[in-house]
Amino acid sequence: MTQMLMDWTLPEGDELIAGVDEVGRGPLCGAVVTAAVILDPLRPIEGLNDSKKLNEARREELFPLIQERALAWFIARAEVEEIDQLNILHATMLAMRRAVLGLSIRPDRVLVDGNRCPVLPMPSEPVIQGDGRVPAIAAASILAKVARDREMQELELLYPGYGIGKHKGYPTPEHLSSLKVLGATPIHRRSFAPVREALAAGPVTTVMEEVTTGGSGVVVIP
């Protein structure tokens, strides 16, 4: 079992601390997903850690536990269009802000994984490698990761041939090769270089609904 680093000390007292993390900054397609979590100190959750250090089965086990035992949690996102309009950094900050403001309880302080924080109406602090150091951030990373992974599995059904369900949109050799052959889809981020190159070189792939069968197919538009 992986364990969290213990070199981070939470503020003393009865402050409500929200942990915030994101998933999906690097992929070529899909939304960037964020989560904010306020843990209940009276209902600890064993095994919290950076979502990347947990296997899929363990993340799926922890997902409902976090939702059940946390004092408050909220999953938010910034869509592909927002990423292309704002850039990935500002879109991520927007999604993090949405996650915090979506909490049913207002936290006294917010700890954000990484080296910067979104603009918030309460004190906030960035924590480098916070998903492995602060339990609330670890919990947020798990919620965001599971939510986004599930969404990418669904998008695989709408846009077959790209391997989205497997690589979750990251620029793997398989994904880059599919972009060259099939072209970009509406869920691809136009502001990312490999997608721009695919758009310049080839067709656009869209989803075609098949009303008679209730299924969906893919049509390539030159």
Coil vs helix vs strand at 196:
helix
| 126 HSE (CA, 13 A, CB side) | 11
**Helix, strand, coil share of the chain (percent; to 5):** 40, 20, 40
- Cβ atoms of 111 and 125 within 8 Å: the answer is yes
Q: What pairs with residue 76 in β-bridges?
A: 34
Residue 209 region, left (φ>0) first, then alpha (ψ -120 to 50), else beta? Answer: beta
- Is residue 21 marked as binding? yes
**Interaxial angle between packed helices 135-158 and 56-69, expressed in degrees from 0 to 180 and rounded to the nearest 10:** 120
Residues placed in the known binding site for a divalent metal cation: 21-22, 113
Residues placed in the known binding site: 21-22, 113
